Amino acid sequence: MKLFMTRKDVQRIIELAKKSPIEVCGFLLGRKAGNVLIVEEARKTRNRLNSPVEFEIDPLEIAEVLDEAEKKGLEIVGVFHSHLKCPPIPSEKDLRGMNLWRNVWLIVTPSGEFRAWTLENGEVKEVEVEIR
């Protein structure tokens, strides 16, 4: 699996992470073509936990984003969030979330690192991110 993103979208998420005292989060909207995910838009959401170490997206906001994506002819291909003080590797809680929300998870840090992950048969796998 491979995730294609524009530099602009990645930078935008990193900028959000830099400016925020809490974890930032949102969805990656785009298209799936076989094993390739093409991100067309990074859509920020609120982190309803207001926490520097975890995040949660309100179900109502998830419904809003699904609706928006559908209107644009896109789908949710991934979830993004930031890690403030640890590397961009899924936490225990992230793994539980990934089990429920089975798409690509992009994690960024304020220092500009970013890595993407997915769960495959219960095992965490890194997803290659190609900047276009």
- Pick the catalytic residue from 23, 56, 61, 92: 23
Residue 126 makes CB contacts below 8 A (sequence gap 6+) with 115, 116, 117
Q: How far is the CB of 82 from Zn ion (least distance, A)?
A: 8
Closest C-alpha among 33, 10, 130, 6 to residue 80: 10
- CA dist list (Å): 33 to 39, 75, 77: 11, 12, 11
Q: Is the Cβ of residue 17 or residue 77 nearer to Zn ion in the bound state? A: 17
Q: Is the Cβ of residue 63 or residue 89 nearer to Zn ion in the bound state? A: 89
Radius of gyration of the CA atoms of the chain, in A: 13
Q: Is the Cβ of residue 6 or residue 91 nearer to Zn ion in the bound state? A: 91
Class of residue 63 by CB neighbours under 10 A (exposed 0-12, middle 13-18, buried 19+)? exposed
Q: Does 126 qualify as catalytic in the annotation?
A: no
Q: Which residue is nearest to Zn ion (CB)?
A: 94
Q: How far is the CB of 119 from Zn ion (least distance, A)?
A: 14
Cβ atoms of 54 and 62 within 8 Å: the answer is: no
Per CB under 5 A, residues contacting Zn ion are 91, 94
Question: So which residues are the catalytic ones?
Answer: 23
